[in-house]
């Protein structure tokens, strides 16, 4: 989203042994960072600590000293590991008090779920709230969030560690508070004071250096904005940021810049901000009323996995064939034995017959196929590891392509699924 943003610097502190020790990836921290960056908040530093009262307290104290604004996730549950509230209450010199309204709500929830007659003692501590705190309502679970502010205006917001609960509470409770607070602090009574806004333009299957050449003619239209290249496996994102201008002016600049970049890059742009390429493809299928099927060799199901990750995909995606062995390619997709012998399983010819085969047999309007060498073994001089072929069949019109992907086995596979989605997008776009 290209929401008008806020001039604010925040640090994130994510809490939990599993996180610190790498058993869990910090998707909570990444989600908050993206959401905050999208409204122009500066993320100064991210820290992860374990379930340890003094580690939590020190990390939050250090972060507060640097920025005066901290968001934590984790450690709000009922078990003895959950130390976030008392550790941070201690920093603010606040006592813990039982909140009887929250306790009653926890009891009702417990009864309603049929988990038992009586709320266990351990769960009661979820109703302990530091004095003077604002409670952030949890509509997706039991642990309430906490917002503590001191008399110098420094604040810590504590969110739960369960991603679903954290995301809901952030969007419904904390984000509006941050926006209102920043508006008050920065704007005084002017409705259109200085803000930071940003927008991300997403591209895939274009090398960063090629993209830079394409963007060059548009640089004149980016005056007053900063442009960052953010390469990752789904492609290269371009982030535009406007700082310190009145909101309306900044948004107009972003609109002009986005239009200029889209003109310069052309069909390479697949979306903006958090758009997922699979969702973009599903939207194109919807517009045309088309259905889609897939035939996957080296990706082994990842392309289907990407599409079905999108809620509602069942209206347009019928399914497909994971054709890992040559026998499956021949028997269940109708790839010719001649084709497999003459060109090999990894060839544009085989990809073509895979796409045609699955489209006909699964009675879809559109089909995409992938066959490649994900490695680490199986490469040759002519077809090194990373060689991937793909085809797209739209109602009988088939296009094919070949590419060399860099990265390890998993990167090659993920990039291949993304590339195949992009080929479909370009055909339907």
**Footprint of a second copy on residues 281-340 (CB under 8 A)?**
294, 296, 298-305, 307-309, 311-314, 317-325, 327-328, 332
Q: How far apart are CA 335 and CA 330, in angstroms?
A: 5
CA 268 to chain CA mean position, Å:
20
Give whichever of 50 and 68 is closer to a second copy, judged by the CB atom.
50
Segment 378 to 417, residues that bind a second copy, using CB under 8 A: 407-411, 413
Segment 237 to 266, residues that bind a second copy, using CB under 8 A: 237
Terminal Cα distance for the chain, rounded: 22
Segment 220 to 239, residues that bind a second copy, using CB under 8 A: 228, 230-232, 237
| 259's tokens | 């239009």
Instruction: Give the total of residues touching a second copy (CB under 8 A).
Output: 77
| Helical residues (DSSP H) of 170-276, grouped into ranges | 175-187, 208-215, 247-265
> Nearest Cα to 370, choosing from 310, 324, 410?
324
Give whichever of 163 and 334 is closer to a second copy, judged by the CB atom.
163
> Nearest Cα to 18, choosing from 45, 47, 46, 51?
51
Q: How far is the CB of 158 from a second copy (least distance, A)?
A: 18
Q: How far apart are CA 16 and CA 5, in angstroms?
A: 30
Q: How far is the CB of 191 from a second copy (least distance, A)?
A: 28
CA 296 to chain CA mean position, Å:
24
Give whichever of 192 and 408 is closer to a second copy, judged by the CB atom.
408
The answer to whether residue 344 forms part of the interface with a second copy (CB under 8 A) is no
The interface region with a second copy, picked from 87-95, 142-150, 247-255, 373-381 by CB under 8 A, is 373-381
Q: How far is the CB of 200 from a second copy (least distance, A)?
A: 9
Segment 7 to 66, residues that bind a second copy, using CB under 8 A: 17-18, 20-27, 29-34, 37, 43-50, 55, 59, 62
Phi, psi of 259 (to 5 degrees): -60, -40
Q: How far is the CB of 230 from a second copy (least distance, A)?
A: 5
Q: Please report how the helices 409-428 and 277-288 are oriented relative to each other, as an axis angle in degrees rounded to 10.
A: 30
Q: How many residues are recorded in the chain?
A: 429
Radius of gyration of the chain (CA): 26
Give whichever of 54 and 342 is closer to a second copy, judged by the CB atom.
54
- Member of 163, 334, 336, 379 binding a second copy (CB under 8 A): 163
Give whichever of 190 and 230 is closer to a second copy, judged by the CB atom.
230
The answer to whether residue 427 forms part of the interface with a second copy (CB under 8 A) is no
CA 101 to chain CA mean position, Å:
36
């Amino acid at each position: 989203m290209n929401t008008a943003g806020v001039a604010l610097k925040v640090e994130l502190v994510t809490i939990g042994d599993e996180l610190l020790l790498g058993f869990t990836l910090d998707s909570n921290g990444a989600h908050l960072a993206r959401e905050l960056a999208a409204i122009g908040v500066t993320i100064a530093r991210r820290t992860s600590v374990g379930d340890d009262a003094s580690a939590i307290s020190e990390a939050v104290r250090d972060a507060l000293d640097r920025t005066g604004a901290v968001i934590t996730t984790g450690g709000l549950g009922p078990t003895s590991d959950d130390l976030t509230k008392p550790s941070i209450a201690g920093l603010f010199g606040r006592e813990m008090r039982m909140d009887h309204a929250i306790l009653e709500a926890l009891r009702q929830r417990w009864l309603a779920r049929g988990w038992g007659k009586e709320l266990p003692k351990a769960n009661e501590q979820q109703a302990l709230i530091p004095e003077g705190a604002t409670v952030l309502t949890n509509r997706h679970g039991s642990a309430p969030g906490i917002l503590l502010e001191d008399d110098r205006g420094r604040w810590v917001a504590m969110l739960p560690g369960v991603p679903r609960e954290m995301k809901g509470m952030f969007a419904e409770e904390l984000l509006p508070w941050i926006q209102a607070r920043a508006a008050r602090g920065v704007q005084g009574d002017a409705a259109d004071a200085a803000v930071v806004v940003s927008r991300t333009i997403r591209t895939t299957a274009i090398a960063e250096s090629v993209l830079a050449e394409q963007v060059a003619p548009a640089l004149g239209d980016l005056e007053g904005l900063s442009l960052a290249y953010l390469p990752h496996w789904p492609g290269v994102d371009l982030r535009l940021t406007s700082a310190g201008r009145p909101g309306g002016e900044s948004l107009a600049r972003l609109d002009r810049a986005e239009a200029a970049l889209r003109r310069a890059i052309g069909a390479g742009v697949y979306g903006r901000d958090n758009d997922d390429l699979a969702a973009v493809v599903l939207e194109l299928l919807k517009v045309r009323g088309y259905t889609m099927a897939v035939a996957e060799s080296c990706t082994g199901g990842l392309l289907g996995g990407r599409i079905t990750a999108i809620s509602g995909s069942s209206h347009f995606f019928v399914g497909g064939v994971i054709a890992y062995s040559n026998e499956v390619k021949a028997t269940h997709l109708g790839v010719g034995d001649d084709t497999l012998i003459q060109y090999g399983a990894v060839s544009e010819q085989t990809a073509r017959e895979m796409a045609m085969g699955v489209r006909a047999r699964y009675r879809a309007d559109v089909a995409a196929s992938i066959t490649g060498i994900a490695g680490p073994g199986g490469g040759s001089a002519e077809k090194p590891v990373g060689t991937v072929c793909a085809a797209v069949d739209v109602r009988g019109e088939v296009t094919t392509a070949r590419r060399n992907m860099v990265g390890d086995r998993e990167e090659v596979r993920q990039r291949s699924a993304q590339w195949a989605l992009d080929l479909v997008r370009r055909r339907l776009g």
